[in-house]
């Protein structure tokens, strides 16, 4: 059932998504499928589960009368790549906003601040598949970026817009101490593990994408949110993302 009360025909599934309910044109994607369930139950009206394949939960409901879906992406560039590609290519999705956590580096950023990825740099070879013969600058849809910054201001949320670094390794476990330092010298404000593939796929398919993060760790200050705080600190970012659609 959609926001206007009409029933939608369900498309045929893929190996990773088997729709049990309609999928909206706009999707929020946290990494954790249980966080997707939390978002659907707390923020969406009348949520219905549309996917449970491999435990990757997805739900569709409405936000202020607009159809919105939320689905987990898993962790890392390849997992985001699979789910975002299938949502865009097979299920009529037009916009995906990645809503996750990140590690920040800049001194003026605090825990629970929102980071909006104006661009995504990477150490990954993901873009080699496009045979571009150069380095691809992965950027979001400007309309979503502009709307998210406006929503953050309107809601009074602390936020930063900047270039982020998307990598294949969790920096805390990297064997090279402070491996991020050369990147921060180039103005990188935070690091994540999903944005680059999302931006590339959206660009290749002519779709819209944006990645935003709630700061869960600050590497330079050695600050970290507790497990309990991580469950609630993202609420402000989720509201900003929903207001951006």
Annotated catalytic residue within 32, 141, 192, 217 = 217
Give the C-alpha separation, 212 to 161, whole Å.
9
Integer angstrom CA distances of residue 93 from 31, 37, 84, 203: 18, 19, 9, 14
Question: Among this protein's residues, is 217 annotated catalytic?
Answer: yes
| Length reported for the chain | 245
Q: What is the dihedral of CA 53, 9, 202, 85, to 10 degrees?
A: 30
User: 68: alpha, beta or left, given left = phi > 0 and alpha = psi -120 to 50?
Assistant: beta
Residues labelled as active-site residues: 217
């Amino acid at each position: 059932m959609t926001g206007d009360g009409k029933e939608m025909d369900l498309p045929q599934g893929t190996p990773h998504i088997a729709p049990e309910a309609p999928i909206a044109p706009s999707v929020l994607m946290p990494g954790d499928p249980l966080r997707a369930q939390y978002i659907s139950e707390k923020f969406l009206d009348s949520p219905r589960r549309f996917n449970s394949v491999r435990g990757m939960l997805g739900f569709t409901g409405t936000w202020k009368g607009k159809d919105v879906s939320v689905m987990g992406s898993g962790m890392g560039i390849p997992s985001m790549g699979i789910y975002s590609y299938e949502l865009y290519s097979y299920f009529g999705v037009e916009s995906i906003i990645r809503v996750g956590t990140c590690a920040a580096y800049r001194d003026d950023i605090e825990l629970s601040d929102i980071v909006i990825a104006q661009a995504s740099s990477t150490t990954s070879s993901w873009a080699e598949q496009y045979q571009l013969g150069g380095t691809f600058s992965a950027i979001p849809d400007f309309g979503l970026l502009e709307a998210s910054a406006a929503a953050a201001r309107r809601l009074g949320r602390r936020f930063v817009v900047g270039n982020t670094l998307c990598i294949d390794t969790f920096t805390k476990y990297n064997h090279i101490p402070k491996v991020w330092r050369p990147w921060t010298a180039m103005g990188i404000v935070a690091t994540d593990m999903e944005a680059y593939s999302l931006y590339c796929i959206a660009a290749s398919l002519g779709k819209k994408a944006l990645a935003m993060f709630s700061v869960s760790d600050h590497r330079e200050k050695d600050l970290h949110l507790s497990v309990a705080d991580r469950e609630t600190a993202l609420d402000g970012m989720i509201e900003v993302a929903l207001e951006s659609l």
